[in-house]
C-alpha cells in the first residue's frame, strides 16, 4: 500500500534544470543516466561478443537501452531503489516453485470444456 502525503520533500525530483532557457527538452533523473549507461554498456558488450559490430547495431542498442531504462525507471522512486527492484526480480526468478505433476489443465474445444489430469 502506498500512502500519498502532501509532504513536499519527496515531491522534488532530481533532474537537470540547467541555465534559464537552456534546459533539456525532456526530464531525466540523474540516476537514469547511470542506469542507462550500464544497460548500454551491457548491450554493446553482448553485441561485440556475438560479433555484431557496426553503426546500426550500436544505434539500435542505444534505442534499446533507452527503452529498457525508461521501463526500469517507471518502477524506481525515492521509496524503491533500483537495487531493491533488481533484488525482488532475482528472488522472483529463483524462488522454488511447486512441480506441475498434480496440476490440472483445461482443454477447450468448440463444443465443451473438459478437465484433464
Q: 59-90, pLDDT tens digit by residue?
A: 999 999 999 999 988 888 778 888 998 899 89
Confidence at residue 39, expressed as pLDDT on a 0 to 100 scale: 95
CA distance 104 to 90: 28
CA distance 74 to 82: 10
Q: Output the CA–CA distances (angstroms, integers) from residue 5 to 2, 14, 15, 104, in the order listed.
A: 10, 19, 21, 45
Confidence at residue 98, expressed as pLDDT on a 0 to 100 scale: 81
Establish if 8 belongs to a structural domain.
no
CA distance 64 to 59: 9
Instruction: Find out whether 17 and 26 touch, Cβ atoms under 8 Å.
Output: no
Residue 74: give the domain boundaries. Answer: 30-116
Confidence at residue 78, expressed as pLDDT on a 0 to 100 scale: 75
Establish if 15 belongs to a structural domain.
no
Residue 110's pLDDT band (cuts 50, 70, 90): low
Number of structural domains in the chain: 1
Establish if 37 belongs to a structural domain.
yes
Confidence at residue 81, expressed as pLDDT on a 0 to 100 scale: 86
Confidence at residue 109, expressed as pLDDT on a 0 to 100 scale: 67
CA distance 96 to 104: 20
Residue 114 confidence (pLDDT) above 70:
no
Establish if 42 belongs to a structural domain.
yes
CA distance 80 to 92: 16
CA distance 89 to 108: 33
Establish if 18 belongs to a structural domain.
no
Which tens digit of pLDDT belongs to each residue from 4-50?
655 566 556 666 667 777 777 777 888 889 999 999 999 999 999 99
Establish if 104 belongs to a structural domain.
yes
Establish if 98 belongs to a structural domain.
yes
Establish if 4 belongs to a structural domain.
no
Amino acid at each position: 500500500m502506498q500512502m500519498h502525503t502532501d509532504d513536499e520533500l519527496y515531491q522534488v525530483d532530481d533532474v537537470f534544470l540547467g541555465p534559464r532557457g537552456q534546459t533539456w527538452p525532456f526530464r531525466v533523473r540523474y540516476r537514469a543516466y547511470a542506469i542507462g549507461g550500464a544497460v548500454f554498456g551491457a548491450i554493446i558488450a553482448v553485441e561485440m561478443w556475438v560479433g555484431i559490430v557496426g553503426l546500426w547495431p550500436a544505434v539500435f542498442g542505444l534505442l534499446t537501452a533507452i527503452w529498457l531504462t525508461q521501463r526500469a525507471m517507471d518502477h524506481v522512486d525515492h521509496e524503491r531503489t533500483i537495487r531493491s527492484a533488481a533484488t525482488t526480480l532475482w528472488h522472483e526468478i529463483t524462488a522454488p516453485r511447486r512441480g506441475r505433476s498434480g496440476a490440472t489443465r483445461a482443454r477447450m474445444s468448440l463444443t465443451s470444456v473438459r478437465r484433464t489430469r
